[in-house]
């Protein structure tokens, strides 16, 4: 699946940027020039050679705080998505197999979770359960589970009683083979899409919580916490919030782009899209070597995206266009 | 052709209505109302019950008690016990839940552990602020969402459509708290057109009130605008392709009438439905926007109470928000049923 | 109702019609050609026919023969990528190529109307059926709400709906196909038009219901003085109602003449093919029925 996404330009960009961000999250504290909680310079200065992003109201280096804070925010987001996946996908898949009552109960619970105003409950859960990091991650993950419940349930339903699974079982294929070949290709893409978007959502929610000083107490550096203090001193340093905001937005954007890339390359339509791109590549190479006949077929390939060996494309696409309109 | 063979087949023009026609009309109407009521009960009551149960459970799980807040560090086990008993916290869980729920349904949210005031009083003052912000945000969402969606559908596949799509995709990823900070940066700090924080009631004048409420409302509305626009565009484009539009045109109805009576009515379905789904987000987003813009509404109250460990107050806000979501979705469903009755019978 | 009187004067069985009082032409199509604006394929090629008042024209052909496109051109509702590249259409003597949008709105419903296959889909699923009829009556005829409702109920009875009061308040998903077609017909005749086009109006209905609808159309033609254009791929349907028959294939007219002639002595081999295929379903039964003999004045 990742291989397919890589073939799309948008997918490539998303994967690269996200990889960089994760790298920063893991190695941020090591890369930071100063200790994030130490007062190392004059207060509220702008960007300078010594402090690339200036200092905050206590004199701490902003860049260092940003790099250190990346860890909590990004890795936290990943953890949140993982928790949501487990809490959602497990009941989702089981709901198809464990009978009517279980199904009805879980459906009602999920309906309720969707109806709950998200942040209010996240705040309440975190604070009431001890106001710690783990409570925060758990609360957010739990509240984001419905998406995975729905997606995994839908995917399981579409595969569970499908004929090709039954046929494969009858013809003696092993369960492992069935799962890998049929179930995985149906279930993995939607789950991957939801995973990508949930990571983005999770990041924003964690930033919101830390902004409110919930789940993490100062002086620990977090992106949200940084924004909170930036807001207080915004009259003096109006440009301060821009960098953390940009970081958050870029991450969320890349998560969405990744999700779109997975969606575009999944299933039948995805295979056609990739084949069309491959054909285009071949035709372009051929054109450069001077074979004009194949190039004409290229334009119609894009329109019809038919997965057929290249030389036949020209003929077939012409027929498609000549079909009489009723 | 002679008239004789014809009239024997057709009913004379002035025939009296059949005896059972009145009765069957009444039956039809009753059946429809019963169906609607049944669906409402089945969909919303469980959600409210589960939501309130979860809220109360949260409070219990927290292990917090008024003792922390009122007695401080030097509390003896006896005094803690006595206090818990006074507040009814030593009863079995279900008894507490049912009793609490009963009080809630009659408007009594208990007393705050912090100062003993009835929570409902504390919420009252803050209600108008939160409701104003969310209300204006909803209004913006509907007005701009509809306008953009209708434009995109009207000029489908032209640059107008593409521009609107890019715009809505962009704003849908911007979370309220980031938008809020950016808006303050732009309008309060740089341009100095609008105040950065605070709330002024309507009594201080419409201009003053709106200048304070507009930035938080805009920050909250982006998500709604984007989704309403997208759903309306899809809905209108789909409706336009349907046969009943051809049917209406063939009857000689004007383009305007076809659009407003036939296309619009069937096309708004998805966008109205999405409002119901977006409402919880609007309420939730208030938590951060109130913090950013320093509005003392429900969101602020919830956050502060949670940090202080004032369980009844937190529970009150949670259950009120669940109630609001349920009520709002009820209104949405009723509206949808009136607009598109066939969706009601299909149970959408 | 007034036209009813006219028709009896012109076509009463006591007086054999002479060429001098042949009914006027209500719809005249000449050399109509419809083209796909991208790709330039001609989907309808030089089609010509005339429809006289009170008569029924049947158009028969298989899918893709161009019969539906022809009538859509007559109604002015060709799909977006198709255009009328040559030929003329005159409705009551007015040339449609000169029509403004306003003219089309005027002509549709008042002069020319249509019913289609899958009648339910041509009605708004969210509005009471009765209200869709009153809409037409109030907007185009200026009737008051009360009068429109009364007229609607009368129309519902004219199309033999058993419980007009009930149907008035029902939605499309609550009625069967046959009843929905009656509603559609009721709307189509509400403004007393000259021409009613029935495009595959009975396809997708049960056979018994088909027969009822065809009877209804014939009855309405006689009471309202309608001129009918009946389109079908089913030769039997066309044969039952038509005075004149047009056979179309691949966008062209391959045969054109009086119904009896075409069906008894087909000249083109395609028509012969259609007839022999329908013989299995007792086509002669329709061709040789007394009803047919009597109504062809």
pLDDT tens series, chain A, 326 aa = 677 777 777 788 888 898 998 888 888 888 877 777 777 777 777 777 777 777 777 778 888 888 888 888 888 899 999 999 999 988 888 887 788 888 888 888 888 888 888 888 888 888 777 777 888 888 889 989 998 998 888 888 877 767 666 776 677 666 666 666 677 777 788 888 899 989 988 898 888 888 888 877 767 788 888 888 888 888 787 788 888 888 889 999 889 888 888 888 777 677 777 778 778 888 888 877 765 554 444 444 444 444 434 343 333 334 333 433 33
Interface contact A124-B50, CB threshold 8 A: no
Angle (CA) A29-A32-A36 rounded to 5° is 75
Interface contact A322-C41, CB threshold 8 A: yes
Read off the pLDDT band of C150 (50, 70, 90). very high
For C263-288, write each residue's pLDDT tens digit: 888 888 888 888 887 776 555 555 55
- Which segments of B258-310 does DSSP mark as H helices, in order? 264-267, 269-292, 298-308
Nearest-CA residue of chain B relative to A247?
Answer: B178
Chains that touch A (3 or more CB pairs under 8 A): B, C
φ and ψ at residue C249, rounded to 5 degrees: -150, 130
| Domain-wise residue ranges, chain C | 20-97+195-208+219-297, 112-192
ipTM score: 0.83
For B149-167, write each residue's pLDDT tens digit: 999 988 888 899 999 988 9
* DSSP per residue, B3-71: SHHHHTTSPPTTPPPPTTHHHHHHHHHHHHHHHHHHHHHHHHHHHHHHHHHHHHHHHHHTT--HHHHHH
What is the distance in angstroms between the Cα of C138 and the nearest Cα belonging to chain A? Answer: 35
Q: Which residues contact A69 (CB under 8 A, 6 or more apart)?
A: A28, A36, A221, A222, A223, A225, A226
Taking CB atoms and an 8 Å cutoff, what residues of chain A touch B326? 115
What is the distance in angstroms between the Cα of A10 and the nearest Cα belonging to chain B? Answer: 16
Chains that touch C (3 or more CB pairs under 8 A): A, B
Torsion over CA of B124, B130, B131 and B133, rounded to 10 degrees? 150
Interface contact C39-A324, CB threshold 8 A: no
What is the distance in angstroms between the Cα of A326 and the nearest Cα belonging to chain C? Answer: 5
State the best of C118, C120, C126, C224 to mutate against chain B, taking most chain B CBs within 10 Å.
C126
Taking CB atoms and an 8 Å cutoff, what residues of chain A touch B281? 117-118
| Of the partner residues B13, B248, B250, the one whose CB lies closest to the CB of residue C113 | B250
Tell me if C73 sits within 8 A of C34, measured CB to CB. Answer: yes
Among candidates C161, C133, C160, C163, which has minimal Cα distance to B17? C163
Sheet of C42-52: strand order equals C42-52, C25-36, C82-91, C94-95
For B50-90, write each residue's pLDDT tens digit: 888 888 888 777 777 776 666 666 667 777 777 777 777 77
Nearest-CA residue of chain C relative to A322?
Answer: C39
Interface contact C43-A322, CB threshold 8 A: no
Taking CB atoms and an 8 Å cutoff, what residues of chain C touch B339? 126
What is the distance in angstroms between the Cα of B224 and the nearest Cα belonging to chain A? Answer: 14
C-alpha span between C215 and B297 (Å, rounded): 70
| Of the partner residues C113, C122, C160, the one whose CB lies closest to the CB of residue B244 | C122
Nearest-CA residue of chain B relative to C76?
Answer: B250
Tell me if B228 sits within 8 A of B139, measured CB to CB. Answer: no
For A115-157, write each residue's pLDDT tens digit: 888 888 888 888 777 777 888 888 889 989 998 998 888 888 8
Interface of B with C in 272-301 (CB under 8 A): none
Tell me if C250 sits within 8 A of C64, measured CB to CB. Answer: yes
State the best of C38, C41, C62 to mutate against chain A, taking most chain A CBs within 10 Å.
C41
What is the distance in angstroms between the Cα of B5 and the nearest Cα belonging to chain A? Answer: 40
- What CATH class is the domain C20-97+195-208+219-297? alpha beta
Taking CB atoms and an 8 Å cutoff, what residues of chain A touch B46? 108, 111-112
pLDDT of residue B326: 87
What is the distance in angstroms between the Cα of B344 and the nearest Cα belonging to chain C? Answer: 10
Tally C-beta pairs within 8 A across A and B. 135
What is the distance in angstroms between the Cα of A230 and the nearest Cα belonging to chain B? Answer: 9
Interface contact A322-C39, CB threshold 8 A: yes
pLDDT of residue C146: 94
The position carrying tokens 């979370």 is: B175
């Amino acid at each position: 699946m990742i291989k397919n996404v890589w073939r799309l330009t948008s997918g490539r960009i998303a994967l690269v940027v996200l990889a960089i961000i994760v790298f920063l999250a893991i190695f941020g504290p090591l890369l930071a020039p100063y200790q994030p909680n130490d007062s190392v310079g004059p207060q509220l200065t702008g960007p300078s050679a010594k402090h690339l992003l200036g200092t905050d109201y206590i004199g701490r280096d902003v860049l260092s705080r940003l790099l250190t804070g990346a860890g909590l925010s990004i890795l936290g987001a990943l953890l949140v998505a993982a928790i949501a996946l487990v809490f959602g996908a497990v009941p989702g898949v089981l709901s198809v197999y464990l009978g009517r009552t279980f199904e009805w109960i879980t459906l009602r619970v999920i309906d309720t979770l969707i109806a709950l105003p998200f942040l209010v409950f996240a705040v309440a859960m975190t604070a009431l359960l001890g106001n710690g990091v783990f409570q925060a991650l758990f609360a957010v993950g739990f509240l984001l589970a419905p998406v995975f419940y729905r997606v995994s349930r839908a995917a399981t339903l579409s595969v569970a009683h499908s004929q090709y699974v039954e046929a494969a079982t009858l013809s003696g294929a092993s369960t492992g083979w069935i799962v890998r070949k049929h179930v995985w290709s149906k279930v993995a893409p939607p789950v991957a899409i939801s995973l990508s978007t949930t990571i983005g959502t999770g990041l924003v929610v964690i930033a919101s919580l830390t902004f409110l000083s919930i789940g993490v107490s100062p002086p620990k550096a977090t992106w949200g916490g940084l924004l909170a203090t930036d807001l207080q001193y915004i009259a003096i340093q109006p440009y301060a919030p821009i960098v953390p905001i940009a970081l958050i937005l870029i991450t969320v954007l890349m998560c969405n782009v990744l999700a779109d890339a997975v969606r575009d390359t999944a299933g039948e339509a995805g295979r056609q899209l990739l084949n069309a791109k491959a054909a285009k590549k071949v035709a372009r190479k051929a054109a450069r070597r001077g074979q004009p006949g194949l190039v004409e077929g290229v334009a119609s390939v894009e329109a019809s995206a038919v997965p057929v060996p290249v030389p036949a494309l020209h003929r077939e696409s012409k027929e498609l266009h000549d079909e009489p309109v009723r | 052709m002679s008239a004789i063979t014809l009239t024997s087949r057709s009913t004379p023009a002035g025939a009296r209505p059949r005896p059972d026609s009145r009765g069957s009309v009444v039956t039809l109407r009753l059946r429809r109302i019963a169906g609607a009521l049944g669906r409402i009960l089945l969909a919303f009551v469980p959600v409210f019950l589960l939501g309130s149960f979860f809220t109360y459970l949260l409070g219990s799980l927290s292990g917090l008690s008024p003792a922390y807040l009122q007695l401080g560090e030097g509390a003896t086990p006896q005094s803690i016990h006595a206090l818990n008993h006074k507040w009814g916290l030593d009863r079995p869980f279900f008894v507490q839940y049912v009793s609490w729920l009963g009080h809630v349904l009659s408007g009594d949210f208990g007393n705050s552990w912090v100062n003993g005031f009835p929570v409902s009083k504390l919420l009252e003052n803050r209600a108008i602020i939160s409701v104003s912000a969310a209300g204006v945000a909803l209004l913006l969402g509907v007005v701009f969402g509809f306008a953009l969606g209708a434009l995109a559908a009207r000029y489908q596949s032209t640059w107008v459509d593409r521009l609107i799509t890019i715009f809505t995709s962009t704003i849908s990823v911007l979370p309220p708290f980031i938008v809020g900070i950016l808006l303050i940066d732009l309008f309060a700090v740089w341009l100095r057109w609008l105040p950065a924080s605070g709330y002024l009631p309507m009594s201080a004048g419409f201009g003053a009130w709106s200048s304070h409420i507009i930035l938080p409302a805009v920050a909250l509305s982006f998500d709604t605008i984007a989704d309403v626009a997208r759903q309306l565009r899809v809905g209108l484009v789909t409706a336009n392709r349907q046969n009943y539009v051809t049917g209406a045109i063939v009857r000689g109805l004007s383009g305007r009438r076809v659009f407003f009576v036939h296309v619009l009515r069937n096309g708004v379905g998805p966008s109205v439905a999405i409002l119901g789904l977006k409402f919880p987000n609007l309420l939730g987003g208030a938590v951060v926007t109130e913090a950013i813009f320093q509005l003392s509404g429900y969101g602020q109250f919830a956050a502060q109470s949670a940090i202080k460990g004032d369980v009844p107050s937190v529970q009150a806000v949670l259950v009120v928000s669940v109630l609001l979501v349920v009520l709002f979705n009820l209104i949405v469903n009723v509206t949808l049923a009136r607009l598109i009755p066939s969706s009601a019978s299909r149970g959408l | 109702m007034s036209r009813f009187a006219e028709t009896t004067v012109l076509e009463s069985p006591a007086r054999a019609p002479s060429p001098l009082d042949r009914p006027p032409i209500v719809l005249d199509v000449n050399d109509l050609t419809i083209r796909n604006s991208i790709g330039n394929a001609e989907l309808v090629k030089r089609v010509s026919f005339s429809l006289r008042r009170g008569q029924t024209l049947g158009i028969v052909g298989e899918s893709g023969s161009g019969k539906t496109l022809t009538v859509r051109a007559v109604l002015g509702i060709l799909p977006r990528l198709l255009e009328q590249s040559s030929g003329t259409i005159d409705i009551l003597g007015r040339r449609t190529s000169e029509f403004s949008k306003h003219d089309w709105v005027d002509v549709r419903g008042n002069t020319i109307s249509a019913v289609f296959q899958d009648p339910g889909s041509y009605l708004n699923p969210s509005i009471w059926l009765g209200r869709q009829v009153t809409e037409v009556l109030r907007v185009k005829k200026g009737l008051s709400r009360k009068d429109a409702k009364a007229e609607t109920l009368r129309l519902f009875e004219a199309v033999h709906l058993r419980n007009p009061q009930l149907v008035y308040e029902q939605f499309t998903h609550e009625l069967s196909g046959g009843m929905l077609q009656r509603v559609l017909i009721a709307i189509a005749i509400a403004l007393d038009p000259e021409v009613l086009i029935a495009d595959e109006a009975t396809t997708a209905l049960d056979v018994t219901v088909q027969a009822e609808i065809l009877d209804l159309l014939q009855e309405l033609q006689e009471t309202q003085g309608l001129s009918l254009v009946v389109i079908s791929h089913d030769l039997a349907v066309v044969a039952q109602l038509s005075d004149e028959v047009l056979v179309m294939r691949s966008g062209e007219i391959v045969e054109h003449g009086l119904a009896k002639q075409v069906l008894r002595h087909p000249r083109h081999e395609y028509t012969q093919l259609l007839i022999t295929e329908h013989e299995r379903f007792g086509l002669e039964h329709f061709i040789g029925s007394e009803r047919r003999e009597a109504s062809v004045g």
